Structure 1
Amino acid sequence: MKKIALCLQLLITASLLALSAIAQAEVALSDAWVRATNPGQPVGAAYVTLKSKAPVTLVYVETERAGSVEMHSMSMDKGIMKMRSMEELPVPAGQTVKLAPGGLHLMLFELASPLKVGEQVKFRLCFKDKQGKITDQFVTMPVKTAQ
């Protein structure tokens, strides 16, 4: 009888762990691409659309192709383009956050070589949930000319 009770406890614990893993839905990533760069150009840009069922915050991005990656916003103020680095990028539950030319984007610094059309660039995106838990997601983005 004790073995059956122990087995039931283990089964319930395993079920609860599985349900908690399911509850931590991944962020849907779509329309991901990297802008091709010219030889000698030390910076580049990447774009992606983010959507999550639960509120999360993009807190860090990296790729082996760049020395560093920053999240940036871009806006026009009296005919002057202003670009600002962002420490984090909120992704509200159920809402789409689009990183695209002329707006939010990922800025790639210290490129060791040009980003050429047809190449694939792998990124690691780190998201923080409401409880402060960090999860990593990987996405491979094609290099394209401006769309």
Structure 2
Amino acid sequence: MTKSLLVAASALALAFSSSVALAHDGHDDDDAMHDGMTVSVGALELSELRTLETPPNARNAGGFVTIVNTGDVDNRLVSATSPVSERVELHTMTMDGDVMRMRELEEGIALPAGETVELKPGGLHVMFIGLSAPFVTGETVPVTLTFESGDTQELIMPVMERTMEMMHGDDDNEGHDHSSDGSHN
């Protein structure tokens, strides 16, 4: 009986993974898991979705994605939402000497036709503000992105281990000015 149950469970797992792979063929999928996959939203291709683990006391965290606009019309990422934080903003990060400055991009992030825009540590990013819990490596974070074209896409960002290379985009607001007036708390 145990061997039969194991074989049945394995077959079910294989069938499920095959159906998940078929369901995520790069077309507009709702509430899709996107670990290592490309998701198409109109003429936009979204890939390399991720966020980074946070220290236990972190109030903020960054989310990252690569967006390729394969179309011939400019677009814009205009907003993001997530149930894991009080609010989500679209940010840019710059260095002013030794001080990291993050600023909300109220007009969103431009996605020019035919170009690739990388949201990555140390640059443009989605900013989760007022985390309800720390981000833990191996877990996932749901986020919904809204574009100027009217398209909306629910995504899942895997939480990745923070490495020294990624530390440049440190999100734990200690010693950093997170807006032009330093008002993020």
Q: TM-score range by the shorter chain?
A: 0.7 to 0.9
SS at match of 2:148: strand
Structure 1 position 77, deviation (Å)? 3.2
The match for 1:95 is 115
Q: Report deviation, 1:103.
A: 0.7
- The structure with the larger Rg is 1
Identity %: 34
Structure having the larger proportion of residues in strand: 1
Cα offsets for 1:104-134 (capped at 9, x unmatched)? 11111111111100001111000013xxxx1
Number of residue pairs matched by the alignment: 120
Coordinate RMSD, CA, aligned = 1.6
Query: 2:86 is matched with which residue?
Result: 67
Aligned to 2:153: 137
Aligned counterparts of 1:25 and 1:111: Cα–Cα separation in 2: 30
Structure 2: gaps (5+ residues) = 1-40, 167-185
**1:111 corresponds to which of 118, 131, 135:** 131
Using structure 2 for the length normalisation, give the TM-score: 0.61
Shift of the alpha carbon at 1:26? 4.2
CA–CA separation in structure 1 for the residues paired with 2:82 and 2:57: 19
List runs of 5+ in structure 1 lacking aligned partners.
1-23
CA distance in 2, matches of 1:42, 1:80: 19
State the AA in 1 paired with 2:91.
Answer: H
Q: What residue number does 2:13 align with? A: none
1:1-147 to structure 2, matched below 5 A, reads: 25-52=42-69, 53=71, 54-87=73-106, 88-129=108-149, 134-146=150-162, 147=166
Structure 1 position 80, deviation (Å): 3.5
What is the rounded CA distance, in whole Å, between the counterparts of 2:94 and 2:134 in structure 1? 26
State the TM-score, normalizing by the size of structure 1: 0.75
